[in-house]
Chains A and B, each alone.
Chain A
Amino acid sequence: MKFAVIVFPGSNCDLDMYHAVKDELGEEAEYVWHDSKDLSSYDGILLPGGFSYGDYLRCGAIAQFSGVMDEVRKAAEAGKPVLGICNGFQILTEAGLLPGVLLRNKNLKFMCRTVGLKVENNNTLFTNEYEKGQEIQIPIAHGEGNYFCDDATYSHLKENNQIVFTYADDFNGSRNNIAGIINERGNVLGMMPHPERAVSDLIGGTDGLALFRSIVKQWREAHVSHA
């Protein structure tokens, strides 16, 4: 499976993302610059964390109009897996590919630590290698991870099982502890925590590996014919 790791000016988790899929999973991965006009040769799109365009105006606001974003939209419409982590999640909400918005943490602090996450929905192409209700340990590193949406949007997310991850504890003010959501179709996931930083015991844990394994497993089942 071949992944594109989109690199915006100010991305800083692109290397971690590349390392996770290339070195830990042994899949193909390439860095793709933000003005690329063609993502058709990639099977999965990864939007990494960081501070694209310096978070000017609002986090993700400028990046949503990068040249590559039309291609990301096309990939999403084609049903390819699109994963946005941290700033990648913020970009996906600004681009309208996911509902809601990420606000400043309620305590105004940039928070960098490992937290407990609950897998609310394991019936997605991103989470099929987890158990429903499983609690996993994944690092967070964000100042604006306070997920906000209106009541109607929340009800909609809830009814369609689009809430994929919640925090075990409230620390940033996110509505109903939401940490990650998926689109209705089920192929675009945005989450604030960093599974790509939890892929090796050497760096503190491996609970993030199953997320990347899920994507690859689903893709293989759909694309590789069995003899």
Chain B
Amino acid sequence: MKKVKVYVTLRESVLDPQGSAVMGSLHKMGYGEVEDVRIGKYLELVISDSERDVDALVNELCHRLLANTVIEDYRYEIEEVVSQ
């Protein structure tokens, strides 16, 4: 079994008004050194072992549903889960 951590982020070319609002708030709180804030998504998937290649599978999931590659990039990390 594997745990896959997927990070979905807005592409650099896409404005992130939510991130800008959060940055504005941090500035008002006195944290002027914060130069940029971008908000993304974090997903954890638990995937059972099968004959499918896990990288190919995760890429397929990301392209088909988890990320919209018109506006988003994704990256992921795979961890082995040791069954107890």
Contact = CB atoms under 8 A, between A and B. Distances in A.
Given A57-B65, A65-B65, A101 B18 contact: no
The size bracket of the interface on B is 10 to 19
A103 B14 contact: yes
B62 to A, nearest CB: 12
Contact of B68 (A61, A104, A108): A61
B46 interface: no
Interface of A: 57-58, 61, 65, 94, 100-101, 103-108, 148-150, 173
A148 B65 contact: no
B14 A148 contact: yes
A104 B70 contact: no
29 contacts: A57-B41, A57-B66, A58-B68, A61-B65, A61-B68, A65-B65, A94-B68, A100-B70, A101-B68, A101-B70, A101-B71, A103-B14, A103-B15, A103-B71, A104-B17, A104-B18, A105-B17, A106-B15, A106-B17, A107-B17, A108-B17, A108-B18, A148-B14, A148-B70, A148-B71, A149-B70, A150-B13, A173-B15, A173-B17
Nearest to B72: A58
B69 to A, nearest CB: 10
A61 B41 CA distance: 14
Contacts of B41: 57
A60 to B, nearest CB: 9
B70 A108 contact: no
Contacts of B68: 58, 61, 94, 101
